[in-house]
Structure 1
């Protein structure tokens, strides 16, 4: 991540936004990375949330097209069984429903994949987007506070 350190100002935040928007990269990576680089924690939290939530919105809005593309891709590769992440998400879904999946998703399967799976399991778009937003707010705040105090504690030692 040296190249992020070598950029300056607004470009560092732009790179963090792109990382947050990248599939399978959640606030779990972006927030500690940005704060570890010495960037403003509030800005990092907002950027991390925005990039991650953008992907949830895109996946929510274009779910049908994405689902068709994904199914064709899986058939072309000969994949019939669900992945380990999908299996884990299904177990959480069956046990706790959409709220449970949304709240544990960033740490287990990623928010973007959880949104796709929740839609696949039959949840409505507005509910999925709302619960993923709630989850992202909670995790972003927790990770921002934890990173600020965690890195602050590490500097003391």
Structure 2
């Protein structure tokens, strides 16, 4: 029963990181298990996309060259210039998810090791914050009763 709950949280977090944590706690798992499972699932998603996506990006760049490079004054490029990998690492777990966030990073030319480290650390921070918030919220709700 325990492994099936952990597996369901792993699959849930692979698709929707921040909703899996309250769901896992609602299933009766301890906050630590839920947070680590959600973080690990997100990290697996990042690793899969980066390892599969980097050769594809390299092939596309060899094939089409700089003709794919966009306008340096575009809103996306300006946002990237302003916030960079730190902004992507902080926002991706809550907005786009692991797969799209890693693909965006690859598309914008972030080196593989920096992208992996940034995205995984960003997910660890959010997993800790969300897990703590949900656990403390439940403790507070139980104290009110």
TM bin, normalised by shorter chain, reads 0.7 to 0.9
Task: Give the alignment's Cα RMSD to 1 decimal.
Answer: 2.3
What is the total number of aligned residue pairs between the two structures? 129
Deviation per residue, 1:109-151 (Å, 9 max, x gap)? 2232111101100111111000001101100000110010112
Report if aligned partners of 2:53, 2:103 keep a CA contact under 8 Å in 1. Answer: yes
**3-state SS in 1 of match to 2:28:** coil
Is contact 1:92-1:100 (8 Å) kept?
no
Q: Give, in whole Å, the separation in 2 of the partners of 1:89 and 1:147.
A: 33
Which residue in the other structure is 1:139 paired with?
Answer: 126
Q: 1:101 to 1:89 in 2, by over 3 A?
A: farther
Using the alignment, how far apart are the partners of 1:43 and 1:154 within structure 2? 21
**Secondary structure at the counterpart of residue 106 of structure 1:** coil
Write out aligned runs for 1:3-152 (5 A): 8-22=1-15, 25-26=16-17, 28-64=18-54, 92-152=79-139
Question: Which segments of 5 or more consecutive residues in structure 2 lack a partner in the other structure?
Answer: 59-73
Q: CA deviation at 1:67?
A: 5.7
Q: Is the 8 A contact 2:39 2:124 kept in 1?
A: yes
Task: Summarize the Cα distance change of 1:89–1:53 in structure 2 as closer, same or farther, 3 Å threshold.
Answer: farther
> Do 2:5 and 2:27's aligned partners in 1 also have CA atoms closer than 8 Å?
no
| Alpha-carbon displacement from aligned partner over 1:20-53 (angstroms, at most 9, x marks no partner) | 223xx11x11111111222111111111111111
Alpha-carbon separation, structure 1, partners of 2:138 and 2:77: 35
How far is 1:98 from its partner?
0.7
What CA distance in whole angstroms lies between the structure 1 residues aligned with 2:75 and 2:6?
33
- Taking structure 1 as the reference length, what is the TM-score of the superposition? 0.73
